[in-house]
Every structure is written in structure tokens, then in C-alpha cells.
Chain A
């Protein structure tokens, strides 16, 4: 039991931490690639400055994404070995393909990009950052193909006591992936847009490098707005799909206990999980039916009925995921999502009416909005992963059955504490560096030179 709790805690912490860095990588890579392309096409030095400045921030963030991703790959075997035995035939494949197709490309060309500034023709150099950006998004695709199998198993047969792949094409065209992939990737784009927008706003309010940050702001605002509308749209479609594919997840996220037709959407509820009911609630009639079926009528199954059906299908047990936290994480994500559409909309309006720099309040607000996409991303993943409880693979294996049996609780505690401590230290270094480079701003080519002189003669161990 303790092994299970420790492994779950570790997975939650390690994965959430990893996913703080991934979305920014997905989006910022594309933005930096666009900046460099503009530079190559126009020869305008401002774009080069932009590429270098945002590129530096991209690199600091990227390093953290890579090293925390490493733990991801190995912890399936370390903490979840029974899961790995059960689904390795299927789940291992997209992980291996990710490494072969995406990760090699990404890390190789990142090296080329960082070290190739003076050594490669401009076009080849710009191509290398495009390859990095494309590869990191491809990487997300393969990982989400693996995750989609856990959410919605397809193309398999149960044989030899495990799930075996019977149809690779079905695996990579899992209906779940068509919603999850665009939802995650576009969220990454929004994250990057808010990051660039907020930092640009900060410098605009200080009147630093107006040329660089006006263009950056404009680019980010347009990129963010398109992506945010995309996230919302796909999110709606995904919700409709989940009502069919993972009805329990959606019912729990809505604290929807009883089957209703038409079903209302709760804005607020005081949830009594023990008593399996809501004590007080604020409900908009018909809206849940609309979110589920795009029309204001239609039966939405409640938790009680779904639990009864699950017991019939899988045998006795509790198949209800934690309702309260799912309900609120879903609402946090939705509220954040609205902010993510609103802010770039206002930003674009101010920018187009040439009064952006007079709106000091908005510039300050944009800076403070940087955490919002992170909150949305984390609560979105929380909903996706906690929502499939008690299953590790929906309908096939419970989380409890997936944990390693040969690892002692002490070993797990050591590793978990070790990773947590290491990650905490790295977080401090990461934030320190990001703040430092954000405040410094672009250019400062001469710093490198002074730096080299200052440091000469320093001893390593002092």
C-alpha cells in the first residue's frame, strides 16, 4: 500500500514538474523559428536580436524539459514495472518511436543551432531551429499516442496475461489522440504566447528596446489569440468525445451524480463525496447536455448509474474517481481558458489602436498573466490523469495492479525524496536564470567579452 502511494505521489510530482517546461518548449520553439525566418527573409537585425533573446530563454527552459523527461521514460520500469509488463507490447512502441523519430532530431539540431551561428549558411541555420520546433511537437504527438492508449485502449487483444498489439494503425489513429494532441499542443502555443507577451509588456512599460518588444508582443498576441481559440474549440469537441469514451471522467468532473435529460451544468457545488451528493449547487439548465451533444437536450449519465454499470462489467469495486478535486480542476481550467482568450484579444485591440504603451495597467496585467496558462495546463492534466482513476489503463488494469512489486517502500521513498529535492534546487536555479536574462533584455553582446576577462584565473573548487 505504501509503495502504491509513494509511486503515485512520485508520478504526480515528477510528471507535473516535467509538464511545466514542455508546453513552453512546444510553443516558444515555433515562435523563435518564426523570428529567425523573418530575419533570414528581411535581413532586419531586430529579428536577429529577437531570435537570440527568446532563443536564450528557450534553451534554459529546454534543458529542464529534457532532463526531467528522462526520469519519465525510466520511472515506468522503476515504479510501475507490472504496468510495463502488462502494456509494454503496446506502450513501449510509441516511446521508442518518439526517441527514434523526434528526440534524436530535436537534440541533434538544437546542438547545431546553438553552435552553428557563424558556421552555417543562414538558411540552414534557420532550418535547424525549425527542425527542433517540429521535432518537439512530434515528440508530444508520440507521447500522447502512448497516453491515449491509457485513456482509451484500441488495437489490442488480451493474450498471455497482457495487452498485445494487433493493429498499429489503430493505435496511432486512436480517436482520443485527435482531440488530445491539438488540445495539448495549442495549449503549449498559448503558454509561449503569454510568456512572450508578458515579458514584452514588462520591457515596453520600461521603454527598453521598443523595436524588439513591439514586434515580439505583436507576434505573440496574434499567435496566442489563434491558438487560444483553437484550444477552446478543440476542448469542446474533446468534452463531447469524452462523454462517449470516458463517461465517468466527465460525470465526475461535473459532479453529476444522477442521470438527467436535459442535464444542467453546475457553476458551483458544495460536494459531499462520502454521501455521494451535492449539498448546495448553482445550476444552468440544459447546458451540460449542450456541452455533451451540441444541443440542449440529451441524456447525460450520472455517476451512480455509471458506477452500477462498472460493477456489472468489472466486478465489485469503487470506480468513482475523486469528484471534488476533479470538479474544481475542471473549473479552474475553464476559467483560465477564458482569460487566455480575453487577454490577447484586448492586447491586439490596444496594439492595433496604437495605444498599447499608454495602457500601463494592461502592460502590468500581461506580465502577471504569465502563470495563467501554466495553471490551465496543470489542471487540465490533473483532470485527464486523475479522471481515469482507478484505472491505469482504462478498463484494463487498475493503478494498484500496475505498481512494482519488487521495490521496497524505503527505496521508493529515497528516490522520491531525492528527485523532489533535486527538482526543488533546480527550480531555484532555473527561475534565477530566467529572471536574470529576462531583466537583462536582448543584445549586450559585449557582456560575453567582459565575462571572459573577469573570470580568467578562477579556480574550480573555490
Chain B
């Protein structure tokens, strides 16, 4: 296997990790105002992701760094082309990040309400925008022969892209609700589980619509594997809904994690070997070859990544084990 393919897979893995992990903490952030009826409850909610959200976010940073190192033209075209969308993503991530730390540092009601609002807004925007971005990658955007994006911000908001955004929004929120029902006790767990049941139910038609539009508007299904994976992702979502109704929150969380994994894999697989599709001329698409770094850089980066990724997985996994207990009102830090 050549290293260009390996790096495409590695970046897919990083996005799977990011969507899986940050997916539930985005979801938890979105649910914060709806499931937390008073300050203590909201603190319980935030503390379920307290030890993890920062580490989860690094998956995005690493994905960004990996794109830069392995496919500099992809990084350059994507980030300059999706300029305003990424500006919004960054604002969302910033307000959310400081909000976790800042909210607990003052006890005024208005102060806390402000930062809670930031956590919600940041999580909501991020969840929505990542779906929009992924949908645009797969559908294609106006890219000229010089690898430059020639559209505007509003070209990114096609109906397909918006359905893509709603897909990640609902699937992540569902993921967050399942996580909360695993990590809380008593009536909080009950309420989260109830929320999971209704959000999961709405997510089904959204994902089906996304799959349908993908069939009609993109060439993803030309790749049989990607098509099957996308359908499997929808099946996993339905299964997760069944499981939470059977009160198996743990399994529902795992299976919905599979929904996210399969959805992400399907999108990247459908893209392969392109990394950005040009809607103007197929030949102008960026691929893992014309967008990549030199073989030497890819080799060096491969050695580093294959050494470091397992270590990172090991210690991040360890933190989930250390903080495996459900969060109650007794152990609040934020």
C-alpha cells in the first residue's frame, strides 16, 4: 500500500475519532439547557465530559495538522475555500472551550447562564457545521484548475449540505444523550434516556434523507463499499434506537458510535482517492496524489504517527477507565 493511501486512512481515522469522541461531548453541550433544570444538574451534565472534552478536541487539531503535513494542498484549498465556515467553527470551539473553565469560576447567576449559553451555542454550531463541511467535500465545490476555491460562502449552503449538517447535529445529540444516560444516576439518567429516545427517533428520517440525497446528488454510490457502509450506518442508527428502548444504554451508545464510524468511513471512502471534488471539472479535483507531500515527508510522518497513535490511544483509554464511574452531585469540579 502506498503511503498516500495510508495517510488518507489515517486522516479518516482521526476524523472518526474526532466525531465519535467530540460527537458525544458536542451532544452533551447541546442538551445542557434542556436536561439541566438547575445549576447542580447542569454541573453534573458538564462534569460527565469534564475530564475528556479537552483531550477529545485534540483529535481535530491532530487531523488538521495531519492534513497540513500529508496533503498540504488539501489543507490550503479547504481552509481558504471554506474560510467563513471555518471561522464560525473556530468561534464555536473557542467560546465552548473557555466556557467550561470560566463558568465554574464565578457564582453569579448571569455569569453562569452566559457561559452555559456559550457551551450550547458552540456545541450546536460545531455539530451542524461539521456535517455541512463533510457534505460539501463529497458533493463537490467549485474548484478551478489551480486548486483554488472560486465559490462564495453561500455556495456551501446547498440543501444537501444542510441535510448533512442536520445529520451530524441529530446523530451527535443522540450520542450525547446516550452518553449522559450512561454517566448519570437517578432522574438525570432517566431524563437523558427519554431525550435519547425522542432525538434518536428524529435522527432516523434525517439520516435516511441524507442517504437518499447522497444517492441522487453525489457519486458516492458508484463505490459499492461506500454505499453499503452508508446504509449500514443507517441500520446501526435504527438498532441503537431499538436498544435504548430496551433500556440497554451501554449497547445503544456503542452501536450509535458505530453509526458515526460507518457514516464517516462511508463519506471518506466515497471521496477516495479524491480529497476534494471539483464541481466544475472532475479533472480539477484534488486527490491523494496531486495534493500530497513528498514521499520523504510521508515516510517520516508515517514512522512518527505509527509510533505515537497507539500510545495516545492507550493513555486516552486509561483516562476513560479512571473516570468510568457515573457522575453524581457529590463529585463536581466544574
Binding site for B on A (CB under 8 A): 59-60, 62-64, 66-68, 70-71, 73-74, 76-79, 81-82, 84-85, 87-93, 95-101, 103-105, 107-112, 114-116, 118-120, 159, 164-166, 168, 404-407, 411-412, 414-415, 418-419, 422, 426, 429, 433, 436-437, 451-452, 454-462
Contacts and interface: CB of A to CB of B under 8 A. Distances in A.
Choose among B32, B55, B86, B296 the residue with the greatest number of A CB atoms under 10 Å from its CB.
Answer: B55
Contact of B62 (A81, A82, A90, A96): A96
Contact of B50 (A109, A114, A119, A414): A114
B91 A422 contact: yes
Contacts of B194: none
A451 B69 CA distance: 47
A96 B332 CA distance: 34
Interface string B89-105: 01101110110111001
Given A67-B93, A89-B297, A84 B87 contact: no
A456 B40 contact: yes
Contacts of B294: 89, 159, 164-165
Given A93-B300, A455-B112, A406 B150 contact: yes
Contacts of A461: 33, 113, 117
Nearest to B81: A406
B39 A455 contact: yes
A250 B19 CA distance: 47
A411 B322 contact: no
Interface stretch (B173-181, B227-235, B275-283, B309-317): B309-317
Given A456-B40, A458-B113, A67 B98 contact: yes
28 contacts: A76-B75, A78-B83, A78-B87, A84-B79, A85-B73, A88-B69, A92-B65, A92-B75, A92-B297, A96-B301, A96-B305, A98-B65, A99-B62, A99-B64, A104-B58, A110-B54, A164-B294, A165-B294, A165-B300, A404-B80, A411-B87, A418-B87, A419-B91, A429-B102, A452-B40, A455-B38, A459-B113, A460-B36
Contacts of B97: 63, 66-67, 70
A454 B40 CA distance: 10
A71 B60 CA distance: 12
Nearest to B325: A119
A296 B166 CA distance: 70
Given A81-B77, A165-B294, 6 more contacts: A77-B75, A96-B69, A99-B64, A99-B65, A100-B308, A107-B57
A118 B331 CA distance: 9
Given A76-B68, A92-B75, A112-B322, A107 B83 contact: no
B62 A100 contact: yes
Interface in B41-64: 42, 47, 50-55, 57-58, 61-62, 64
B66 interface: yes
B1 interface: no
Contacts of B300: 93, 165, 168
B319 interface: yes
A415 B83 contact: yes
B187 interface: no
B304 A100 contact: yes
A77 B78 contact: yes
Nearest to A454: B107
Given A59-B101, A96-B62, A103-B61, A406 B293 contact: no
A107 B54 contact: yes
A180 to B, nearest CB: 20
A92 B70 contact: yes
Nearest to B294: A164
A409 to B, nearest CB: 11
Given A92-B65, A107-B54, A406-B81, A411 B315 contact: no
Contacts of B109: 455, 458, 462
A95 B75 CA distance: 13
A455 B107 contact: yes
Given A111-B54, A415-B84, A88 B76 contact: yes
Nearest to A434: B105
A77 B65 contact: no
Nearest to A450: B107
A91 B67 CA distance: 12
A78 B296 contact: no
Contacts of B333: 114-115
Interface in B284-334: 293-294, 296-297, 300-301, 304-305, 308-309, 312, 315-316, 319, 322-323, 331-333
A441 B78 CA distance: 47
Given A452-B40, A455-B109, A100 B305 contact: yes
B68 A84 contact: yes
Nearest to A423: B94
B149 interface: yes
A426 B98 contact: yes
Given A108-B55, A115-B50, A455-B39, A60 B86 contact: no
A108 B107 contact: no
Contacts of B101: 59-60, 62-63
A161 to B, nearest CB: 11
Nearest to A167: B296
A451 B36 CA distance: 17
Nearest to A406: B148
Contacts of B273: none
B250 interface: no
Contact of B113 (A115, A159, A460): A460
A252 B80 CA distance: 33
A92 B298 CA distance: 11
A411 B80 CA distance: 10
B96 to A, nearest CB: 8
B116 interface: yes
B64 A120 contact: no
A335 B260 CA distance: 56
B188 to A, nearest CB: 15
Contacts of B39: 452, 455-458
A458 B112 contact: yes
Given A88-B293, A99-B58, A108 B319 contact: yes
Nearest to B116: A460
A454 B111 CA distance: 14
A5 to B, nearest CB: 17
A78 B126 CA distance: 18
Nearest to B43: A452
Contact of A93 (B32, B80, B95, B301): B301
A406 B61 CA distance: 23
